[in-house]
Amino acid sequence: MTRCAHCGSEVDAAVIAGGDAGTPFCCAGCAAAHALVCDLDLADYYRRRALDPSQAPTRPDGADLATDWSAFVRPNGIALRLDLMVDGLQCAACVWLIEQVLRRDPRVSAVRLNMTTRRLALAWQGDHRDADSILAPVVKLGYRLAPYDPRRLDAASAAEEGLLLRAMAVAGFGAANIMLLSVSVWAGHVQDMGPATRDLMHWLSALVALPVIAYAGRPFFASALAALRGGRTNMDVPISLGVILATMMSLAETWTGGSHAYFDAAVALLFFLLIGRTLDARARGKARSAAERLVALQAIAATVIDASGLHRRVAAAALEPGMRVLVAAGERVPADGRVLSASSELDISLLNGETVPQQVGVNDRVFAGTVNLGQPLTLEVSAVGEGTLLAEIVRLMEAAEQGRARHVAIADRVSRLYAPVVHAAALATFLGWWLGVGAPWQPALLNAIAVLIVTCPCALALAVPVVQIVACGRLLRRGILVKSPTALERLARVDTVVFDKTGTLTTGRLELVGAAANDDLHVAASLAAASRHPLARALVRAAPAVVPAPAVREVAGQGLSLSTPQGEIRLGSRRWCGVDEGAAAGPELWLAQPGRTPIRFALLDRPRTDAADTVDRLKRSGLDVELLSGDRAPTVSALAAQLGIARWQAELAPADKVARLATLNSASRRTLMVGDGLNDAPALAAASVSMSPASAADISQTAADLVFQGERLDAVREALDVARRAERLVRQNFGLALAYNLLTVPLAVMGLVTPLVAAIAMSTSSLVVIANSCRLMARSSAP
Amino acid sequence: MTVLAVLIPIALMLGVLGLAAFLWSLRHGQYDDLDGAAHRILFDDDRRPGPPR
Q: What is the pLDDT of residues A537-582, one digit of tens each?
A: 777 777 766 777 777 777 766 778 888 887 888 888 777 777 776 6
Where are the domain boundaries for CATH 3.30.70.100 in chain A?
1-153
Q: What is the predicted pLDDT for the residue at A781? A: 46
Query: Per CATH, is A154-297+390-494+670-783 categorized as 1.20.1110?
Result: yes
Q: Has residue A354 got a pLDDT over 60?
A: yes
**How far apart, in whole angstroms, are the C-alpha atoms of residue A477 and residue A719?**
12
Where are the domain boundaries for CATH 3.40.1110.10 in chain A?
509-605
Q: Which CATH number fits domain A1-153: 1.20.1560.10, 3.30.70.20, 3.10.110.10, 3.30.70.100?
A: 3.30.70.100
Q: What is the predicted pLDDT for the residue at A288? A: 65
Check CB contact under 8 Å for A177 and B11: yes
What b-and-e string marks burial along A527-544, b requiring 16 or more CB atoms within 10 Å of the CB? bbbbbbbbbbbbbbebbe
Q: What is the pLDDT of residues A410-463, one digit of tens each?
A: 777 777 777 788 888 888 988 988 888 888 877 787 788 778 777 766 777 778
Q: What is the predicted pLDDT for the residue at A154? A: 59
Which residue positions in chain B have pLDDT lower than 70?
1, 44-53
Check CB contact under 8 Å for B36 and A204: no
Q: What is the predicted pLDDT for the residue at B49? A: 46
Q: What is the predicted pLDDT for the residue at A390? A: 64
Q: Has residue A405 got a pLDDT over 50?
A: no
What's this model's pTM, rounded to 2 decimal places? 0.69
The CATH number that domain A301-387 falls under is 2.70.150.10
Check CB contact under 8 Å for A96 and B43: yes
Where are the domain boundaries for CATH 2.70.150.10 in chain A?
301-387
Q: Any idea of the CA torsion for A537, A540, A541, A546, to the nearest 10 degrees? A: -160
Stronger pLDDT, A505 or A406, i.e. the higher one: A505
Q: Has residue A469 got a pLDDT over 50?
A: yes
Count chain A–chain B contacts defined by CB atoms under 8 A: 59
Percent of chain A with pLDDT over 90: 7
Alpha carbons within 13 angstroms on the beta-carbon side of residue A733 total 32
Q: What is the predicted pLDDT for the residue at A238? A: 77
Q: What is the predicted pLDDT for the residue at B24? A: 93
Q: What is the predicted pLDDT for the residue at A330? A: 67
Burial of A588 from C-beta contacts in 10 A (0-12 / 13-18 / 19+)? middle
Q: What is the predicted pLDDT for the residue at A63? A: 45
Q: What's the N-to-C CA distance of chain A in angstroms?
A: 32
Which residues lie closer than 8 Å to A62 by C-beta, 6 or more apart?
A: A29
Q: What is the pLDDT of residues A66-106, one digit of tens each?
A: 566 776 788 877 888 888 888 778 788 888 888 888 988 88
CATH architecture of A509-605: 3-Layer(aba) Sandwich (3.40)
Chain A residue with the nearest C-alpha to that of B18: A173
Check CB contact under 8 Å for B39 and A177: no
Q: What is the predicted pLDDT for the residue at A497? A: 92
> Looking at the complex, does the CB of residue A200 fall below 8 Å from at least one CB of chain B?
yes
Q: What is the pLDDT of residues A517-533, one digit of tens each?
A: 677 787 888 888 777 67
Window 34-63 of A, Cβ < 8 Å to B:
41, 48
Element (H, E) at A356: none
Q: Has residue A392 got a pLDDT over 70?
A: no
Q: What is the predicted pLDDT for the residue at A527? A: 80
Average pLDDT of chain A to the nearest whole number: 79
The catalytic site residues of A sit at 500
Stronger pLDDT, A448 or A318, i.e. the higher one: A448
Q: What is the predicted pLDDT for the residue at A266? A: 86
Q: How far is A384 from chain B (nearest CA, A)?
A: 37
Q: Has residue A172 got a pLDDT over 90?
A: yes
Which residues lie closer than 8 Å to A707 by C-beta, 6 or more apart?
A: A291, A294, A480, A481, A483, A691, A692, A693, A694, A696, A701
Burial of A38 from C-beta contacts in 10 A (0-12 / 13-18 / 19+)? middle
Q: Has residue A185 got a pLDDT over 90?
A: no
Percent of chain A with pLDDT over 70: 83
Centre a 10 Å sphere on the Cβ of residue A171 and count the other Cβ atoms it contains: 24
Best residue in B6, B12, B53 to probe A by mutation, most A CBs within 10 Å?
Answer: B12
**How far apart, in whole angstroms, are the C-alpha atoms of residue A105 and residue A11?**
33
